[in-house]
Amino acid sequence: MRLLMAPLAVVLAVAGLGAPAQKLPWQTSGSVHAPMVRFLYPQQVQVSAGKPYTVQMHFRIASGLHINSHTPLQKSLIGTTLNASAPAGVKITMVQFPAGAPYALAAFPSEKLSVYTSELVVGMHIVAQRGNHLIQGSLRYQACDTNTCFPPRNVPVAVDVIAQ
């Protein structure tokens, strides 16, 4: 009887074929589609035509997570931004983010981060002409927990502006 010896690399490769691939943190427990940040309100605002108005846009950040502020303290971090396109008849004059709260990870207590947690309110300053207008866009953010930063995501935003 003759024994054939396969190279160790081939044996290991074949043995691993039936094993499931290790999932990344954001791929476990069905969290791929779980929203980390949700747009809460307003979905509609009534404004005076031709006069400045600030739309207070409210977002909820999932419990246990934080997102980098609009002005992160390290250049390598991805800041939160609001990308919105103004339809004809609406001018977005400014987007105003609150200051981030200081935060430090337990592993690096001396390195401070600037983050948002819980609820985030972004002010979008607009001037609208008479009529109904739909402002659409997205909030781009990078969410992190105490161990992992997840890939950047976008949460869609839509606000119906009724200018009278």
Edge-first strand order for the sheet with 52-61 is 37-41, 52-61, 119-128, 90-96
Helix, strand, coil percent content, the chain, rounded in steps of 5: 10, 50, 45
Report residue 87 as tokens.
Answer: 């339809």
Q: Which residue has the higher pLDDT, 26 or 146?
A: 146
pLDDT for the residue numbered 17: 47
CATH T-level assignment (fold) for domain 35-163: Immunoglobulin-like (2.60.40)
pLDDT for the residue numbered 34: 67
Residue 5 has pLDDT above 60, yes or no: no
Across the range 154-164, mean pLDDT stands at 95
pLDDT for the residue numbered 129: 97
Amino acid at 84: A
Q: Where are the domains of the chain?
A: 35-163
Read off the pLDDT of residues 126-156 as tens digits, 9 standing for 90 and up.
999 999 999 999 999 999 998 888 999 999 9
pLDDT for the residue numbered 106: 77
Using left for φ > 0, alpha for ψ between -120 and 50, and beta otherwise, residue 110 falls in alpha
Task: Kindly report the average pLDDT of the chain as a whole number.
Answer: 84
Report residue 89 as tokens.
Answer: 């008849």
Q: Name the pTM for this structure.
A: 0.77
- Ramachandran angles phi, psi of 26, nearest 5°: -80, -5
CA 129 to chain centre: 31
Residue 16 has pLDDT above 70, yes or no: no
